Structure 1
Amino acid sequence: MVQEVTPFLMFEKDAEKAINFYVATFNDAKINHVDYWTKGEAGTESTIKRADFSIGRQNFIALDSPAKHDFTFTPAFSVYIDCSDAAEQENLFSALSTDGAVLMPLRDWGFSQKFAWVNDRFGVSWQLNLPFSDNQN
């Protein structure tokens, strides 16, 4: 039996802002379902208890954790995007790196046409690849 694998993004207060940012940034992204913490539950009222969203065919789950943690996101786990063209890659690089951190600047690193690695303003790590076209391999 094949199990479904879904990236799970745990925030402490910014899940809704992050999800709205991703849906606005990616052309084929949408929010599929959202549940909010209510009064008397473990989480802060009106923050995300669970949200299901997608970017392209990839589903994600996100929440605002009711527990405080001594950790956050790390680039050791990142979301890898094969961009369809240079314009898409440049737009994503600009949006995702604004108020974030550039780990590898957008350029030719020798293994693809162009590549960049960024942490967005929420700490989520993204690898943005522009693969060689079939006739360039």
Structure 2
Amino acid sequence: MKQVTPFLMFEGKAEEAMTFYCETIPDSSVLDVTRYGSGEGGPEGTVKLARVSISGLEVMVYNSPVHHAFTFTPSVSLYVDCSTEAELNGIVEALAKDGKFLMPLDNYGFSRRFAWLNDRFGVSWQINLA
């Protein structure tokens, strides 16, 4: 086995999501992008498959041309340990815009500053002040 990589499947929002994550999470970047060509199922020129590094975690991002009866669930989430309260606040604020809190930013005993939310794309995030 070479490696295990998280795989996020979107329906038309892959490029918007990966750009947003790279702008929101420090030390993140797009590693490579494959775009749909003519006659490949997805709209020509849109992201088909990409690899991004989200603060060092390699994640594959896929744009499905097929509608599915399912989406993301909070039972799988991306957990982010922040170094400072300012960093945590900035990330939570960005991810919460048009998203939904599962656990609002607060002191929960196990963490002095923690939030769990689904972003506007439905991806679940747990944000913690380490």
**What is the match of residue 54 of structure 1?**
53
Letter in 1 for 2:54: I
**What is the match of residue 38 of structure 1?**
37
Moved over 6 A (4+): none
**What is the match of residue 10 of structure 1?**
9
Percent of paired sites with the same residue: 50
Report SS of the residue matched to 2:79: strand
Task: List runs of 5+ in structure 1 lacking aligned partners.
Answer: 132-137
CA contact (8 A) 2:12 2:65 kept: no
Distance in 2, Cα, partners of 1:81 & 1:29: 12
**What is the match of residue 135 of structure 1?**
none
Distance in 1, Cα, partners of 2:45 & 2:67: 17
Distance in 1, Cα, partners of 2:45 & 2:72: 23
Distance in 2, Cα, partners of 1:56 & 1:92: 12
Distance in 2, Cα, partners of 1:6 & 1:89: 25
- Cα-to-partner distance string for 1:39-93 (whole Å, 9 max, x where unaligned): 1112222221110010121000001112110001111110001111111111110
Deviation at 1:3, TM superposition (A): 4.0
**What is the match of residue 107 of structure 1?**
106
TM-score (norm 2): 0.95
- Cα-to-partner distance string for 1:14-63 (whole Å, 9 max, x where unaligned): 00000111111122000010011111112222221110010121000001
RMSD: 1.1
Task: List runs of 5+ in structure 2 lacking aligned partners.
Answer: none
